[in-house]
Amino acid sequence: MPSDEDEMLREMGLRSVDDLFADIPSAVRIPKLDIPDGLPEDQVVARVTSMLRANRTVVDMPTFLGGGLYDHFVPASVRAVVSRSEFYTSYTPYQPEISQGLLQALWEYQSLICELTGMDAANTSMYDGSTALGEAARMAHRIHGGRIFLVPRGLRHNRRAVLANYILGAGLEVREVDYDRESGMLDLAKLKTAMSPDVCGVYVENPNFFGRFEEQLEEIRDMTTGVLVVGVNPIAQAVVRPPGDFGADIVVGEGQPLGTQMNFGGPLLGIFACRQQHIRKMPGRVIGLTRDAKGHRAFCMTLQTREQHIRREKAMSNICTNESLLAVAAAAYMAVLGSNGLRRVAAENIRRAKELAAAIDKIAGFEAPLFPGAHFNEFVVRRKKGYAAVHRALLEKGIHGGLPLTRQLPELSDAALFATTGRHTPEAVGRLLAALEAFR
């Protein structure tokens, strides 16, 4: 039987597929790809699986890292939802009549994010929390016009670095506002000095980089003449007054805690929400509620004139492919847990962090949390005699300590950021404490 290829070629009156490449000039042709030939599926699976075995997972090794990314339990039902091939093998829902499932899931994601943050509108995602911050700075500039954007000096350096690259075209200048050395919260006196009519926006995180809840949002709002951008951990929002209540104009955050595993840092979910009055200045894709020709409820992409495929060089952002599937996971996660479930997870994180900090603080030579007061699920641990040796010793014992802060903030070079979640077993915590005891 002739193959598909032969039949198609014959029908087109061609002898070989090569004829279809006759338009590629010989000067740019290559004889073949300079990579090995293909392998059978079983061999690829065996090879990749074996390579990856060189990783030590947080299951093999009690790990106390957070810093923007957390090891929360993901209910199987969340995975089941995003494993539906109708979701994961589809693309941007350009054709709403055959995409209602995804459109509704994304609209529900937007709605749930709005409930959590007290905002009116959310987009379906930015690439991650750091690009969401970058886009927020640009949007603050579009709204206000000022050329200065203030951020906390206590900001995870990868967020700071990404922000630096996102504001280039807008001609913005980022200035840092120091944190209060006692409380770990934003230094309001310094914020006051930094404020000027040219400040288009102020960014503040709650909880902040040190895991400390930022309790001065009201004061910060009052001092801010520009746009207030609040960075959140979405799970923590279940137990705090939402930023919308404090007058935030834009809320951003890393959405990975909502139903996505850590995956070595990607894919991630950039949360981006704002007030209704600003929706036409918002970047990214949004889903709206409407009707079909028969008057039935329907969803579709909307406000597309803000986007690159219509507005081109004047678009609010260049984003096209985003992180939709993670938004679906987040919607499923929030829906599966419900408000009570989310509150339970948040409370559990707070309790565990408090207990772990207290236990570490008991060990002579260690101070935890370095900043007193309410924390979410991470906190700074300081060892005056130096932290680096502790970090190495823990690793040798098969334990991964917190994030050393040397590279982040020089004044905290003897400290590390320890995180915990509901996933740490008593045994894991016990091993950490025993290992730290050795440094007494």
Token pair, residue 23, equals 């338009």
Give min distance, CB of 127 to ligand PLP, in A: 10
Token pair, residue 58, equals 């947080």
Instruction: Give the one entry of ligand PLP, other proteins, none that residue 405 binds, where binding means its C-beta sits below a cut-off of 5 to 8 angstroms depending on kind.
Output: none
Cβ proximity to ligand PLP, 95 vs 321, nearer residue: 321
Q: Where are the beta strands (DSSP E) in 351-431?
A: 366-367, 378-383, 403-404, 415-419
Give min distance, CB of 323 to ligand PLP, in A: 11
List the one residue out of 399, 386, 384, 381 whose CA is nearest residue 435: 399
What is the C-alpha R_g of the chain? 25
Give min distance, CB of 251 to ligand PLP, in A: 24
Give min distance, CB of 317 to other proteins, in A: 7
Cβ proximity to ligand PLP, 49 vs 321, nearer residue: 321
Footprint on this chain of ligand PLP (rule: CB under 6 A): 320-321
**Alpha carbons 277 and 275: distance in angstroms, whole number:** 5
Task: Tell me the sheet residues that pair with 418.
Answer: 379
CB neighbours of residue 400 within 10 Å: 17
Give min distance, CB of 437 to other proteins, in A: 21
β-strand pairing of 403-404 with 173-177: unpaired
Token pair, residue 431, equals 């091993």
Instruction: Give the one entry of ligand PLP, other proteins, none that residue 224 binds, where binding means its C-beta sits below a cut-off of 5 to 8 angstroms depending on kind.
Output: none
Give min distance, CB of 13 to ligand PLP, in A: 30
Instruction: Give the one entry of ligand PLP, other proteins, none that residue 261 binds, where binding means its C-beta sits below a cut-off of 5 to 8 angstroms depending on kind.
Output: other proteins
β-strand pairing of 199-206 with 148-152: parallel
Cβ proximity to ligand PLP, 302 vs 308, nearer residue: 308
Helix (H, G, I), strand (E, B) or coil at 81: helix
Give min distance, CB of 189 to other proteins, in A: 30
Instruction: Give the one entry of ligand PLP, other proteins, none that residue 406 binds, where binding means its C-beta sits below a cut-off of 5 to 8 angstroms depending on kind.
Output: none
Token pair, residue 156, equals 């995870």
Helix (H, G, I), strand (E, B) or coil at 97: helix
List the one residue out of 333, 329, 323 whose CA is nearest residue 92: 323
Cβ proximity to other proteins, 224 vs 242, nearer residue: 242
Instruction: Give the one entry of other proteins, ligand PLP, none that residue 77 binds, where binding means its C-beta sits below a cut-off of 5 to 8 angstroms depending on kind.
Output: none
Contact (CB, 8 A) for 190 and 178 = yes
Is residue 148 within a helix (H) or strand (E), and if so which, with residue range? Answer: strand 148-152
Cβ proximity to ligand PLP, 55 vs 321, nearer residue: 321
Instruction: Give the one entry of ligand PLP, other proteins, none that residue 54 binds, where binding means its C-beta sits below a cut-off of 5 to 8 angstroms depending on kind.
Output: other proteins
Instruction: Give the one entry of other proteins, ligand PLP, none that residue 221 binds, where binding means its C-beta sits below a cut-off of 5 to 8 angstroms depending on kind.
Output: none
Instruction: Give the one entry of other proteins, ligand PLP, none that residue 172 binds, where binding means its C-beta sits below a cut-off of 5 to 8 angstroms depending on kind.
Output: none
Q: Using CA atoms in the order 301, 303, 309, 315, what is the torsion angle rounded to 10 degrees?
A: -140
Rounded to the nearest 5 degrees, what angle is found at the Cα of 87, between the Cα atoms of 86 and 92?
110
Give min distance, CB of 189 to ligand PLP, in A: 43
List the one residue out of 208, 283, 214, 219 whose CA is nearest residue 250: 283
Cβ proximity to ligand PLP, 14 vs 320, nearer residue: 320
Instruction: Give the one entry of other proteins, ligand PLP, none that residue 396 binds, where binding means its C-beta sits below a cut-off of 5 to 8 angstroms depending on kind.
Output: none
Cβ proximity to other proteins, 106 vs 185, nearer residue: 106
**Alpha carbons 123 and 271: distance in angstroms, whole number:** 8
Give min distance, CB of 91 to ligand PLP, in A: 9
Instruction: Give the one entry of ligand PLP, other proteins, none that residue 141 binds, where binding means its C-beta sits below a cut-off of 5 to 8 angstroms depending on kind.
Output: none
Contact (CB, 8 A) for 122 and 287 = no
Give min distance, CB of 320 to ligand PLP, in A: 3
Helix (H, G, I), strand (E, B) or coil at 109: helix
Token pair, residue 358, equals 């207290």
Task: Tell me the sheet residues that pair with 173.
Answer: 148
CA distances from 290 to 1, 103, 111, 295, 306 (A): 52, 11, 15, 9, 19
Cβ proximity to other proteins, 140 vs 185, nearer residue: 140
Cβ proximity to other proteins, 225 vs 302, nearer residue: 302
Cβ proximity to ligand PLP, 227 vs 328, nearer residue: 328
